[in-house]
Chains A and B, each alone.
Chain A
Amino acid sequence: MTGRGRGRGRRMMTFSVEAVGINRGDSLPPSIQQPTPLFPVMEQKPLPLAGGEEAEYLLALKQEFRGAMKSLPCFIQPAAAHRDVERYSDKYHSTEPADGPTDWTTDWKRFPKELRVRVKKPTRDGVSAAVTRSDRVQSGQKKKKIKEKEEVLLKLETLEKKEERGSSGEEEEEGEEKKKKQEDEEAEGEEEYDEEEFEEETDYVMSYFDNGEEFGGDSDDNMDEAIY
């Protein structure tokens, strides 16, 4: 009954207005219709920052500390997103995850078992050592493509060698062994392949004339097959 406020007396509030000090006839400050501005005007300007030698030294310490942390192994970068096409600049932008796990030697006894990272033997060209299977799956897209290409080229090479040397038993086994080895030691295969291919930039694969002995010896065995 008393609180009919809407039409008649608009100024009904939950607490007594006289006691708090709003007398009749006093105008209230205008009611706020929208959120307060993001950067309201300040009536009092804030004090300037404390300067002095200590403050500057602390500042320098802080910035150096931040910079040093960025270069430590505990600074973990997320895996870089792979773009749709390989680009030329990727070669120069390559931010290797550095030697993260190998560089960071710590006492694994102090960590629970599930957190311990197995450190595999580092591969020859310094690829990050603790590449687990999941990582290989995720980030191996590029490498897979290259691997496939190399595998194809290596296969062609071995086939050439086979025809060059004829189908004697040893060479076949050699070829098979090589194929098996490809899967385990891609890195080494890559390097050997690179050497052979790019040594003199000729159109001929250098291993064609690898050993003088093989060339002379094989030609005696199988005169039936053509030598390309």
Chain B
Amino acid sequence: MQRSVSSSSLSPSVKMKLVNAGFQFTADLLHLKPLQLSKEASLTQQEALEVLQAVRREGGGGDEAGGGGGGESSSLTALELLQKEEEMKSIVTFSSQLDAALGGGFPVGKTTEICGAPGVGKTQLCLQLAVDVQVPQCFGGVGGQVVYIDTEGSFLLQRVVDIAAAAVRHCSLLVEDDEQRVAMETFTVETILSNMFLVRCHDYVELLAEVHLLPDFLSEHPRVRLLVIDSVAFPFRQHFDDLSQRTRLLNGLAQQLISMATGHGIAVAMTNQMTTRLSGGQSQLVPALGESWGHAPTIRLLLHWAGSRRMAAVFKSPDHKGATVQYQITSEGFRDVGQSEQPPSKRPRTQTVASVASQRDTSC
């Protein structure tokens, strides 16, 4: 398949001149000299040279990949996608009911939004996730690092140390064999804190700058498995003169986050605030940032109060129906209600793809 000129990454004015001169495919340009090209397409010498360099670079890459258009994307079958998804583990929290409602935990490779009123526990859940992502693989965790973007200033080290210490205690009660014992040596409060990369952003431009530079950071730190943004709403709810600009910026941010989640294999967790919407004569609590932002995250979790109980409701999820579970915030972090001091059931070890595929074959 030949690549058309209009899809190449040249500047728009140059592309227009080439198309007007009659060049439809980049293959037509390959055999020309710069002088000829500049005469035919009325480009300057410099521009013609750049065009040919760009086209030869892209053309060479395309030929090597079998003539596919574009170079980076290759097609996958649905079975390959399924296998890839099975390999992607979820981040297990210490609340088994919430994990069950989400189908195993917070999924890696997808974006999740946590919304709720102030004080209901969104930051606590984010801090818990930031610690849980580091649980070693032999305990059923992901064993990865985390990038924590704090826009409100609510990342307080006192609390993080509490949650980390409780997680270390929890895991040390579950140690059964040598592999886990060895893993516990590298799972201490110090190492947990050193695997959390903290960024504080003071306004939305800093947040956009940070997200723009994150792909490079993620390539340098391949062990990062979670990105937390607490919160997305806070910097964007300052007074914007042009609300449509805010929507555009949020859409761009959402696209960047989704591409990072799928491209680098990380889970993205974002926090959102609630706002009141007046419809008719009644007011209703809805997530902030507007309707269009609601399409951005793959999974949405709503934390709310029911009397004096804290409830978590999954209200948008592509694979699981909406479920509501109760949780509590203890001194140890985000936990199920009714969890006492006895060590809870042990998490299953990681399953290989082959065993999962064989299970699936026999069941259907």
Report if A and B associate in a common complex.
Answer: no
B residues lining the A interface (CB < 8 Å):
none
A residues lining the B interface (CB < 8 Å):
none
